[in-house]
Copies of this chain bind each other. A is one copy, B any other.
Amino acid sequence: YGKNTIKFLRLHKEGKKHFVKEVEVCAHLRLTSPQEYLEGNNCLVIPTDTIKNIVLVLAKKNGIPSLEQFAIDICNHFMTTFCQVAYVKTYVQEVPWQRLYEDGVPHIHSFICVPDGIRFCEAEQCRNGPLIVFAGIKDLKLMKTTQSGFEGFYKNEHTTLPERHDRILCGELFCKWSYGECKDFDFDCIWKKIRECILEAFAGPPDCGEYSPSYQKTVNCIQMLVLSRVSQVQVMEVVLNNTFYNVVDMKNLGLTNDKEVLVPVEAPYGSCACTLGRKKFFEA
């Protein structure tokens, strides 16, 4: 198979007000025959240059109503236009431009880049199979300064980690969920709702939080909340890359340090990942 990446900006005006979407599109194609590899016969090969042109032409003609709809449009185009395509997957990622506000007033044509989690989606289809849509958020960095611990874990002669009931929980989240064979969803609205669920499940109630006994359990809480609140989600994968913080031992400097000064531990860093689907959910 082959893939390639195109980055571009789609500008759109309503009166004097400007709307901008900058996206990175990556298209994977697998052809019905591997003759290009085995025989060096290029007659079925669709050059990356052509793929780029198609993506840009679709953006020009249809705009980018939502990342997901744009990914679907691209998939559909390849499947209906090229009979030599056996499989197509389209990944679309957004540059997080947000409208600039001055004293609460939105600016008609100025934007600021705010990368507090990057939205992406995928659409994939095998010939004669259903078109499946995924969406997600990545590079979302969150921290809880309390209400997190790690106790009661397995111990043997190689264990040196002490039990902790009040540590920092900090990490970078990658979440990806499937909408199945989606109908006419309001993708933007659903995505925002899921983002809110993720934040809520991570942090707990604003006034007191919720105790997390492990990174793993926090991952599961996120999945459970999204699956219970957002019926359109079929399966959800969550990966949490942990950043550990150690309380600095200041005894030899003549000071006590009551979780006031902490340093990030670069290695080992860990991650935990889990994929949870609807069926599993009801079984659990």
Contacts and interface: CB of A to CB of B under 8 A. Distances in A.
Contact of A151 (B42, B158, B208): B42
A79 to B, nearest CB: 15
Nearest to A20: B145
Contacts of A150: 42, 47
A202 interface: yes
Interface stretch (A123-131, A176-184, A212-220): A212-220
How many monomers of this chain does the complex have?
A: 4
Contact of A56 (B107, B217, B261): B261
Interface residues of A, number: 121
A267 interface: yes
A188 interface: no
Contacts of A250: 56-57, 60
A266 interface: yes
Contacts of A81: 156
Interface in A1-51: 1-12, 16, 18, 20, 34, 36-51
Interface string A65-82: 000000000000000011
A183 B146 CA distance: 36
A160 B53 contact: yes
By secondary structure, the A interface counts as: mixed
A187 interface: no
Contact of A100 (B9, B115, B203, B274): B203
A102 interface: yes
Contacts of A225: none
B261 A47 contact: no
Given A4-B270, A111-B145, A9 B214 contact: no
A259 interface: yes
A97 interface: yes
A230 interface: no
Interface of A: 1-12, 16, 18, 20, 34, 36-54, 56-57, 59-61, 81-82, 84, 97, 100-102, 105-116, 140-147, 150-154, 156-161, 168, 196, 199-200, 202-209, 213-214, 216-217, 219-220, 242, 245, 248, 250, 252-255, 257, 259-264, 266-274, 284
5 contacts: A8-B264, A38-B220, A50-B160, A53-B160, A97-B143
